[in-house]
């Protein structure tokens, strides 16, 4: 059973990590709480469904197209709805949740509420210590690690990463040093939405495509980033796996209460916040900056 719990936790955690990293990036760099983050993930899922089922495009190509398209949509949304009110955090919260609901209603109008799905990139399963794991799930774990490494490299090893970190550290000084802060924020938004779309592309074969599929991940993603420390990529990654393992534990230890797995994960977040209000890595991240 321990093997089941570990593997189940790794799978859940990887899905949450994929979503939380993009969200955490835009908050850490531009102080934008983008509540429409998982709605972009939902739109990417529908794009992939449409491309594979209605246009007959190969799933990998469909995923690439979806990531590009959703990133463009994200940038347009940023320019039209977020950038003008960026200075007002409460307004950004309201605008992004409204944006998410608008996207939900548009998808509902186009595709109705039918539960849809897209094919796996790799079908079949592997048996590890007696536990069956679908190849698609293994792919998700691998890609989550790869993406984290990629984002880490982008931030630490590139000029763009330096610019992002600088503007995150002190917007005014970055401006005085000749950096176009607004442009950096927009690029960061693009990367963040691209990551949401990428998460959609990887996770969608494991999920059921429907217009409300963004809600539960949003709650879990918020729990992950708050638990890990707002804006901390390391915190988001570790927080995702903590909640993933918590969910897995609930299913195995209280099968009758399997539906409580989300609630238990959120309770853990509250418990950690009571002890450490800034989250697990909140302060560490501030110091790093």
Partner 1 sequence: MRRFRFVATVLLVACLVMAVGFPAWAAKTIKIGVIGPMNFMQGKGHWNGATMAAEEINARGGLWVGKKKMKVELVKADSNEFLSITDATNAMELLLTRHKVDFLVGGFRTEAVLAMQDIAMDYKKIFIGCGAAHPELCTRVAEDYKRYKYWFRGTPFNSKYLVKTCFIHMATVGAILKRALNIPKVKVAIVAEKAVWVDPMIAAAKGFIPKMGMEVVGVWRPSAVATDVTAELSAIQRSGAHMIFTTFSSSVGIPFARQAGELKIPAAQVGINVEAQKDGFWEATQGMGNYVMTMNTYARGVETNDLTGPFVNRYIERFGEVPTYTADTYQVIIYNLAPVIEEAETLDADKLVAIIENREYVGPGGKVKYMKDAEGRHLHDLTWGPGYLTSLGVQWQDGKLKGVWPNRWKPSKDAPEITYRGIVPYKIAPWIIQEYKK
Binding positions for partner 1, rule: CB under 8 A? 1, 4, 7-8, 11-12, 15, 53, 108, 112-120, 123-125, 131-134, 136-137, 206-208, 210-213, 216, 247-248, 251-252, 255-259, 261-262
Q: Which two tokens stand for residue 148?
A: 């984290």
We find the least distance from the C-beta atom of residue 216 to partner 1, in angstroms, to be 7
Nearer to partner 1, 140 or 192 (CB): 140
- Dist. CA 43–CA 77, nearest whole Å: 13
We find the least distance from the C-beta atom of residue 260 to partner 1, in angstroms, to be 9
Nearer to partner 1, 71 or 137 (CB): 137
We find the least distance from the C-beta atom of residue 8 to partner 1, in angstroms, to be 4
We find the least distance from the C-beta atom of residue 143 to partner 1, in angstroms, to be 16
We find the least distance from the C-beta atom of residue 111 to partner 1, in angstroms, to be 9
- Dist. CA 152–CA 207, nearest whole Å: 27
SS3 132: strand
Nearer to partner 1, 119 or 190 (CB): 119
- Dist. CA 238–CA 243, nearest whole Å: 9
Residues ≥6 apart with Cβ < 8 Å to 29? 164, 165, 167, 168, 184, 185, 188
We find the least distance from the C-beta atom of residue 42 to partner 1, in angstroms, to be 12
We find the least distance from the C-beta atom of residue 75 to partner 1, in angstroms, to be 28
Question: Contact at 8 Å (CB) between 23 and 37?
Answer: yes
Nearer to partner 1, 140 or 167 (CB): 140
- Dist. CA 186–CA 152, nearest whole Å: 19
Residues ≥6 apart with Cβ < 8 Å to 199? 15, 18, 19, 22, 41, 44
Nearer to partner 1, 59 or 150 (CB): 59
Nearer to partner 1, 129 or 275 (CB): 129
Other beta carbons within 10 angstroms of residue 113's beta carbon come to 10
Nearer to partner 1, 113 or 142 (CB): 113
DSSP H or E segment with residue 275: helix 261-275
DSSP H or E segment with residue 125: strand 125-128
- Dist. CA 209–CA 76, nearest whole Å: 24
We find the least distance from the C-beta atom of residue 14 to partner 1, in angstroms, to be 11
Longest dimension (CA), the chain: 59
Nearer to partner 1, 81 or 125 (CB): 125
- Dist. CA 85–CA 100, nearest whole Å: 17
Under DSSP, the state recorded for 214 is: T
């Amino acid at each position: 059973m321990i093997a089941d719990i570990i593997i189940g936790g790794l799978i859940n955690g990887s899905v949450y990590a994929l979503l939380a990293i993009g969200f955490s990036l835009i908050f850490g760099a531009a102080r934008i709480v983008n509540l429409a983050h998982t709605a972009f993930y939902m739109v990417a899922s529908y794009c992939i469904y449409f491309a594979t089922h209605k246009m007959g495009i190969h799933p990998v190509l469909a995923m690439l197209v979806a990531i590009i398209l959703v990133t463009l949509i994200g940038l347009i949304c940023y320019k039209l709805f977020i950038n003008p009110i960026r200075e007002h955090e409460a307004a950004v919260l309201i605008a992004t949740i409204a944006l998410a609901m608008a996207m939900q209603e548009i998808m509902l109008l186009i595709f109705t509420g039918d539960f849809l799905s897209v094919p796996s990139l790799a079908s079949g399963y592997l048996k590890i210590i007696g536990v069956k794991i679908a190849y698609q799930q293994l792919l998700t774990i691998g890609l989550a690690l790869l993406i984290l490494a990629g984002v880490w490299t982008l931030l630490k090893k590139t000029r763009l990463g330096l610019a992002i970190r600088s503007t995150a550290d002190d917007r005014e000084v970055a401006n005085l040093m000749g950096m176009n802060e607004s442009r950096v924020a927009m690029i960061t938004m693009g990367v963040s939405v691209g990551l949401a779309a990428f998460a959609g592309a990887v996770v969608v074969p494991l999920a059921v495509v429907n217009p409300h599929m963004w809600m539960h991940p949003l709650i879990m993603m918020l729990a992950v980033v708050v638990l890990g420390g707002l804006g901390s990529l390391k915190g988001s990654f570790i927080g995702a796996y903590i909640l993933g393992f918590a969910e897995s534990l609930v299913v195995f230890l209280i099968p009758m209460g399997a539906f409580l797995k989300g609630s238990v994960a959120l309770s853990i977040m509250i418990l950690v916040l009571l002890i450490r209000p800034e989250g697990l890595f909140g302060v560490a991240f501030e110091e790093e900056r």
